[in-house]
């Protein structure tokens, strides 16, 4: 059994963080873009779901002892290629929730030694499984700030007062 409960909790909490960040937004707000080449809130969710898919693979690759370099992914074409802004945010979040829960159950089964298993990331750096799990939670937190900035920009564009969370996160 793992002694990495805080890492697993942070990883698992990413779903709640994202759900809270977009709660109450209608389709117009979820698909609004702050400018050309910028992502909407829905596209941020799609990106994080994509990232979770890749992290899920990385976790398994590390646990298998593979010496293959861990994959990167080309985030903008992935989001664009799957028409991310046309996705239903609720569907994206449901898939994200399921995959987070599935991975969390795996993470709970791991030994302390499993958490220290290493692989080479796409940049050529050695990373542990713990680094990958912590890195995903940190990446999700980074995008929470982006979601707050998108909400604040949309409110400003429409001449509305931004929500309290958007003011605090911007």
Tokens of 60: 């398994």
pLDDT score recorded for residue 169: 46
Q: Which residues of the chain have pLDDT under 50?
A: 167, 169-170
The 3-state secondary structure of 93-150 reads: HHHHHHHHHHHHHHHHHCCHHHHCCEEECCCCCEEEHHHHHHHHHHHHHHHHHHHHHH
Nearest partner of 35 among 150, 170, 169, judged by Cα: 150
pLDDT score recorded for residue 160: 79
Total-model pTM: 0.91
Tokens of 37: 């080449």
Please give the mean pLDDT across all residues of the chain: 93
**How far apart are alpha carbons 20 and 22 in whole angstroms?**
6
């Amino acid at each position: 059994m793992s002694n990495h409960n805080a890492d697993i909790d942070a990883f698992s909490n990413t779903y709640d963080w994202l759900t809270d960040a977009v709660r109450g937004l209608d389709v117009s707000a979820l698909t609004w873009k702050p400018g050309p080449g910028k992502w909407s809130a829905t596209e941020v969710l799609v990106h994080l779901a994509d990232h979770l898919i890749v992290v899920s693979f990385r976790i398994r690759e590390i646990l298998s002892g593979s010496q293959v370099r861990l994959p990167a992914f080309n985030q903008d074409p992935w989001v664009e290629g799957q028409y991310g802004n046309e996705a239903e945010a609720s569907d994206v979040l449901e898939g994200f929730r399921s995959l987070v829960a599935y991975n969390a159950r795996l993470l709970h089964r791991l030994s302390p030694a499993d958490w220290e298993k290493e692989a080479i990331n796409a940049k050529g750096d050695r990373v542990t499984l713990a680094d990958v799990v912590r890195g995903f939670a940190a990446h999700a937190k980074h995008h929470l700030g982006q979601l707050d900035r998108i909400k604040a920009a949309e409110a400003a564009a429409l001449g509305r007062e931004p929500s309290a969370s958007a003011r605090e996160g911007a």
